[in-house]
Amino acid sequence: MSEQGERALPRVIIVGAGFGGLDAARHLAKVPVQVTVVDRNNHHLFQPLLYQVATAELSPADISAPIRGVLRAQRNAEVLLAEVIGVDTKARMVHIRERTDGEERELAYDYLVIATGAGQSYFGHDEWAEFAPGLKSIPDATAIRRRILLAFEEAEMERDAERQRALLTFIVVGGGPTGVEMAGAIAELAHKALARDFRHIDPTSARILLVEAMGRILPAFPESLARAAQGALRRLGVRVRTNAPVERVDAGGARIAGEYVPAHTVIWAAGVKASPAGRWLGAEMDKAGRVTVGADLTVPGHPEVFVIGDTASATQDGKPLPGVAPVAMQQGRYAAKVIAAWVEGKPAPGAFRYFDRGYLATVGRNYAVGHIWRLRFTGLLGFLIWAGVHIAYLIGFRNRVLVMLQWAWAYVTAQRGARLITLDEEPRGTRAIQRAG
């Protein structure tokens, strides 16, 4: 395609190469537009398996793929490694800062798709982030992995019984799918993969607490499945505490429903906050900072600007759509269809409708709960369905094969192949924890 031809085509800028942004880009492959994907990272991340990186079951490369590689064959797409710092909706310009040298410049657009995802919300207590890291990126996952593995190493050399108990206490805050899966994975790591690796401690004595402020875990699931998941966690040695809000997190542990629990490792899996997209656009936002969008996922007054995924506050049948990958992917495809219709002079599709296929959550390496359409699954069958769905959604044949092999090895041996501790930089809070001890 000539440079003159590129300039003549409508320009579509997609901010964010997560599930929604990448699906939007790929579904514009045969549309006469020039697509520019802007992301601050050079890789697409399969977030649902990020907890397995944090618990040493998978390596980061197993669940990520280079964005340029994914879009290599798409002639009408380009990728920019940059961070968006603002949007001028009047001039239809996106302001970016290049990640390589920090240079700032502008990109003109005819259509804009914002799919920037969400970060961790500490409900007004951002100071807790130092002691209770969240799980949203590969650096988050490798930092948590380092913290978990170092806890066992420090406990091996610790002679004070109280401090050793704190080192072997792990608190996961949040009873949604991420918290449930993380708690189960830590339990299996401690009770199986590490069980015979130490000489002075018994890793199976580790305490794993899953705390949830609401009345039950997995609130989006049917209550029977939530009870089944809680039973599976209990069998793995996880103590589940519901109606137990976290009141404070510090270097020594956390105060939970009035009780202070000394713990070396606290992991935050409760609550998300939207990206700054609403401020860039000057748009109406909900309490979580998500942009309020219309039925066609556009910003009111700006039919050329789509906001999708965790960044969008969208409703269907009077209920808010959940911030899960299937929603973002379907919204990305829908935005691409609307843009294609406008560019080709065809009638735009009707309002966006999310087709809910259900929910899945795994508890350990051979048990999962699932609700797909009207069918409910638990146990090994649920796990096989969960594994099949996640393999199908992974990008790239290599990643699918590697993850299947890793899971098969872990299933047979109960071992973890990615138990790597990197000490290039000091884990956040480690020295503070030592001083507190």
Active site residues: 181
Q: What is the three-state SS of 26-53? A: HCCCCCCCEEEEEECCCEEECHHHHHHH
Q: What is the three-state SS of 362-417? A: ECCCCCEEEEECCEEECHHHHHHHHHHHHHHHCCCHHHHHHHHHHHHHHHHHCCCC
Burial class, 259, CB count within 10 angstroms (exposed 0-12 / middle 13-18 / buried 19+): exposed
Per the CB < 8 A criterion, the answer to whether 372 and 358 are in contact is yes
d(CA 281, CA 288): 16
Distances (CA, A) of 88 to 102, 277, 280: 20, 12, 8
Map residue 132 onto helix, strand or coil: coil
Per the CB < 8 A criterion, the answer to whether 362 and 384 are in contact is no
Q: DSSP per residue over 265-314, as a string?
A: EEEE-S-EEE-THHHHHT--B-TTSPEE--TTSEETTEEEEEE-GGGEE-
Taking every pair of Cα atoms in the chain, the longest distance, rounded to a whole number of angstroms, is 74
Question: Cα 131 to chain center, whole Å?
Answer: 19
Amino acid type, 9: L
Distances (CA, A) of 15 to 275, 309, 348: 11, 12, 22
Residue 115 has which token pair? 């799919």
d(CA 75, CA 34): 9
